[in-house]
Amino acid sequence: MVKGMAFGAGAARLAAAPARSARATRQHVDALFSPQRVRVSDELRALSLSCLSALLSDIAEDLSALAQQRAADTKAVLRQLEDGAFVQQPEIASALLHRAEDHQVEMRLRRLAFVAESEITSSPQSLIDRCAHDEDSGLARLAELYRDARGGRIDKNQQPVLNAAELPDALASALVWQVAGALANGANAAESRAWHDASRRLNARRDVSQSVQHRAARLAVRLDERGELDSALLIRALGDADPVLAAAIVAVKAKITLVTAWTLLFREDVDALLALLLALGCEKSDVSRVVELLLRVSRLGDEPADVAAQAAAVELEIGAEGLAALLDYWRLDPAFRAVLEMSSQT
């Protein structure tokens, strides 16, 4: 039971679903930079470390352009940073892992494109394309901005990229200073000052509104204002292999954070996902279609024999009041929930 919250036994078990996922993520974080550990798959580790390499390289390039100078051996500097303790801190490792997982989900959804075309929707036009060509110029502009941000998360080799704008601001700033300091190692006073000033300028111009998550949320809010935010739209986003927009749709509809929505959609147990969709009032048939698709692409476990029957069992066990209480609880700030859940274990 989570202290301070009135839940039945069934709802209490599901309430802590994001926290269980967070604990599992921390174990993955510990293993990310230790190849001898097996908690992180080789694919996930490779994707994560590729994101790190690209992130550091992008920061170094931006700094060099602003400082109008280059380090004697930038590649060697970046290799040292990749092996250093700073980039292995949990906050950075967690962001890298999340980006890698998001890419995995997207690729698996793409491989199931035939499902999207035949089972999910008959429309050949993606949700973003439809929005980008809408008569509502505001919606069209938001769709274009989101498409641009999403395109910037993939490099020329179709590998995932983690942009600094997606990091918490304090972490992104610290990372810029770390790269600048490494580039300035061995420089004279004038060169060091140039690296310093370039860092300040780069940190000052970073804009979280340029992140794909922020732009997805703005697009989802606009769709909600038009009364279009429903389970059919979620199914369309999944059919388009767009996990970020799918999570934003759920986040705005449920009034929860995007991280909580992403976790419940793509990285948690089936019952928690069913409870979320039922609490949002999704049609029973849509609940089954969403869960059946996600079971094929995420870490939700073995596909149940009958999703509709499992949804009915969850609804019967928890009840309408329990579902509403669960949704209210997931709307709390994740940091506050973490404290409540930690207190409940003592």
Q: What is the DSSP string of 123-190?
A: --S-HHHHHHTSS-HHHHHHHHHHHHHHHTTB-TTS-B---GGGS-HHHHHHHHHHHHHHHHTT--HH
What is this structure's pTM? 0.86
Q: Is 117 helix (H, G, I), strand (E, B) or coil?
A: helix
How far, CA to CA in Å, does 163 sit from each of 38, 167, 178, 183, 261?
27, 7, 16, 20, 21
In a domain, 268, yes or no: yes
Residue 3 lies in a domain: no
- Which neighbouring-strand residues pair with 160? 154
- Tell me whether residue 184 is in a domain: yes
Residue 129 in this model has a pLDDT that exceeds 60 = yes
Q: Between the CA atoms of 76, 78, 82 and 84, what dihedral angle is there, to the nearest 10 degrees?
A: 80
Would residue 105 count as lying in a domain?
yes
Closest residue by Cα to residue 91 from 17, 159, 170, 152: 170
Is residue 33 predicted with pLDDT exceeding 70?
Answer: no
- Our CA angle for 232, 329, 325, nearest 5°, is 80
- Buried-state track 311-335, b at ≥16 Cβ within 10 A, e below 16: beebbebbeeebbebbbebbebeee
In terms of average pLDDT, the best of 22-26, 28-32, 34-38, 280-284 is: 280-284
CB contact at 8 A, 336 and 20: no
Residue 258: domain span: 9-344
Let me know if residue 2 belongs to a domain.
Answer: no
Question: Is there a domain that residue 163 lies in?
Answer: yes
> Domain for residue 293, yes or no?
yes
**Each residue of 232-250: pLDDT tens digit?**
999 999 989 999 999 999 9
Question: If you write DSSP's letter for every residue of 222-260 in order, what string do you get?
Answer: HHHHTT--SHHHHHHHHHTT-HHHHHHHHHHHHT--HHH
**Is it the case that residue 29 has pLDDT exceeding 80?**
no
At 186-222, the pLDDT tens digits run 999 999 999 999 999 999 999 999 999 999 999 999 9
Domain count, the chain: 1
Of 199, 178, 173, 166, give the one whose Cα is nearest residue 80: 178
3-class DSSP state of 3:
coil
* Crossing angle between the packed helical segments 258-266 and 284-297, to the nearest 10 degrees: 80
The answer, yes or no, to whether residue 2 has pLDDT greater than 50, is: yes
| Statement: residue 312 has pLDDT above 60 | yes
- Domain assignment present for residue 1? The answer is no
